[in-house]
Amino acid sequence: MSIPLSWYLVLSAALFSIGLFGVLSRKNAIAILLGVELMLNAVNINLVAFWRYLDPAQMAGQVFAIIVFAVAAAEVAVGLALIISVYRRRKTVIADEIDLMKW
């Protein structure tokens, strides 16, 4: 494979940053979760790239990535359930309006 490892790492860093931007700047709570997904995907790219480039005989990289999958799924499920529950109460999904725990 002629792709240097650094390309994968920079790509994942960029994807992570974009996802971070989305988390920090989107109003809609669901959009925030979308950003989180991007960040998780960036992590996964990193893991798999390292697995492939360092020691493909070790399965730890892939296993880790699979666990990340499972966690991401669980987190999305619970997160969306929470958003729906909050929406029912407060009639809003805009994160800035859910600010009861404030001064």
Partner 1 sequence: MTPVQIVFLLCAALILAAALMVVTTRNLIHAALWLVAALFGVAVLYAILDASFLAVVQVVVYIGAIAILFIFAVMLTRREMRDRGPQLRRDWWLAALLALLVFAGLAFLLVTQPGVNRTAAAMPQGLDTLGKLGTALVSPEAYVLPFEVASILLLAALVGAVYVAASKK
Partner 2 sequence: MATETIIWLLPLPPLLAFFVIVLFTNKHKALSHSLAIGAAGLSWLGSMLVFVRALGVHEFGKEVFESAINWLPTGNTWLKIGVLIDPLSAATLFFVAWTVLMIFVYSVGYHNFGQPQGDHDRAGLPPHGATITDEKGHKHAVPSIEPMYSRFFAFIGLFACGMYTLVISNNLLTLFVGWEIMGLCSYLLIGFWYGKESARNAAIKAFMTTRVGDVFMLLGIAFLYSATGTLSFREIFQPEVLHALAATATPFFGLSAAGFIGLLLFIGTVGKSAQWPLHVWLPDAMEGPTPVSAMIHAATMVSAGVYMIIRMFPLISAGWEPGMPLNPTMSVIAFIGAFTALFAATIAVAQNDIKRVLAYSTISQLGFMVAALGIGAYVAAAFHLVAHAFFKALLFLGSGSVIHGMEHGVLHTGDHSVDPQNMFNMGGLRKKMPITFWTFLIGGFALSGFPVLTAGFWSKDEILADAFGNGHWAIFATLAFAAFLTAFYTMRQITLTFLGEPRTKEAEHAQETRWTMTLPLVVLAVFAVGYGWVGIPEHFPLIGGILPNWFHEFVGGTLAEVPEAAPFSVWPLLTSLCVALGGLFFGWLVYRKVKSPQQDFLQIPLLKNKWYFDEAYDFLFVRPAYWISETFTYMFMDRTVIDGVLHTLGRFALWLGSFLRNYFDKPFINEFIADGTGNIVKKAGSSLRRIQVGRVQAYMLASLAVIVVLAAVYYLLIVS
Enumerate binding residues for partner 2 (CB under 8 A).
20, 23-25, 32, 95-96, 98-103
From the CB of 76, what's the least distance to partner 2, in Å?
17
Report the residue number, 2 or 103, with the smaller CB distance to partner 1.
2
Structure letter (DSSP) for residue 100: -
Q: Do residues 65 and 41 lie in contact, with contact meaning Cβ atoms separated by under 8 Å?
A: no
3-state class (DSSP) for residue 91: coil
Segment 62 to 101, residues that bind partner 1, using CB under 8 A: 62-63, 65-67, 69-78, 80-85, 87-88, 91, 93, 96
Q: Do residues 8 and 43 lie in contact, with contact meaning Cβ atoms separated by under 8 Å?
A: no
